[in-house]
């Protein structure tokens, strides 16, 4: 059986395949970020949560937006897979998800979107409790922030696990569009058995670059995102070619 590439080899593959495609990939990332900012500000930004009903509307809108962006995640997977496999690429690949089973792309996003919502709920509830206590001139029990932090930390760990488990879903959608979404999710979970730590280490290896990019006025982060996305696609290539 073919031995899997280590993190350094995957990153080297990504750098090699990215040559000549930096402009296209970074332009696609910029366009995606602009669209995300516009859509989120229009839909979610217009909702100012102040009571239970408004918070429910806020969470529902956030969930729907997250699901919708699954279509763009499918397009990004298509673009960076093309880079890794040496195929022609263009910025318009970002919209491939609208042409390739957008319904499946949305379903694939469900577990990730739900985990994201569950992660932010404790912090939002804590914000409400703190605001109410300020109005009543009351003090918050010191145990409350620690409890919220512990709950958020636990949900975040589960969130990371779920994301690692279903991380190959959008790549599989490109290779096996005839499969239904739930079969793709099951296949991703099966592929990632024994490999979650490998992908996690790949992500962690980009933290220094992300910190440098942040300190350098954020612009280098566009290159880091493009580099990481290509490396993630190379990880998928290595995984399915075993």
Break the chain down into helix, strand, coil percent, rounded to 5: 80, 0, 20
Task: Count CB-CB contacts under 10 A for residue 143.
Answer: 8
pLDDT reported for residue 4: 85
Say what the pLDDT of residue 233 is.
Answer: 97
Give the start-to-end residue ranges of the domains of the chain: 7-234
Please state which of the ranges 135-144, 160-169, 192-201, 228-237 shows the lowest mean pLDDT: 135-144
How far, in Å, CA of 97 to CA of 231, rounded? 20
End-to-end CA distance of the chain: 6
What is the C-alpha separation between 75 and 57, in angstroms, rounded? Answer: 28
Q: Please give the pLDDT value at position 44.
A: 79
* 210 confidence band (pLDDT: 50, 70, 90): very high
217: confidence class by pLDDT, cuts 50, 70, 90: confident
Per-residue pLDDT tens over the stretch 108-166: 999 999 999 999 888 777 777 666 666 556 566 666 677 888 888 999 999 999 999 99
User: If DSSP states are collapsed to H, E and C, what string results for 141-185?
Assistant: CCHHHHHHHHHHHHHHHHHHHHHHHCCCHHHHHHHCCCCCHHHHH
């Amino acid at each position: 059986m073919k031995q899997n590439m280590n993190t350094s080899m995957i990153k080297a593959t990504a750098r090699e395949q990215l040559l000549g495609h930096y402009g296209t990939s970074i332009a696609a990332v910029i366009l995606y970020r602009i669209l995300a900012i516009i859509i989120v500000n229009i839909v979610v930004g217009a909702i100012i949560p102040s009571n239970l009903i408004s918070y429910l509307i806020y969470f529902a809108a956030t969930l729907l937006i997250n699901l919708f962006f699954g279509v763009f995640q499918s397009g990004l997977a298509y673009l960076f897979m093309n880079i890794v496999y040496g195929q022609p690429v263009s910025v318009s690949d970002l919209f491939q998800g609208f042409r390739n089973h957008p319904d499946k792309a949305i379903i694939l996003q469900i577990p990730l979107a739900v985990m994201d919502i569950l992660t932010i709920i404790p912090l939002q509830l804590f914000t409400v409790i703190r605001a109410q206590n300020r109005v009543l001139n009351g003090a918050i029990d010191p145990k409350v922030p620690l409890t919220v932090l512990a709950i958020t930390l636990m949900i975040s760990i589960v969130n990371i696990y779920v994301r690692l488990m279903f991380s190959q879903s959008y790549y599989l959608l490109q290779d096996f569009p005839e499969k239904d979404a739930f079969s793709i999710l099951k296949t991703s979970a099966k592929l990632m058995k024994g490999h979650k730590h490998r992908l996690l280490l790949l992500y962690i290896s980009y933290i220094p670059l992300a910190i440098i990019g942040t300190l350098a006025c954020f612009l280098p982060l566009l290159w880091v995102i493009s580099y990481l996305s290509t490396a993630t696609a190379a990880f998928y290539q290595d995984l399915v070619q075993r």
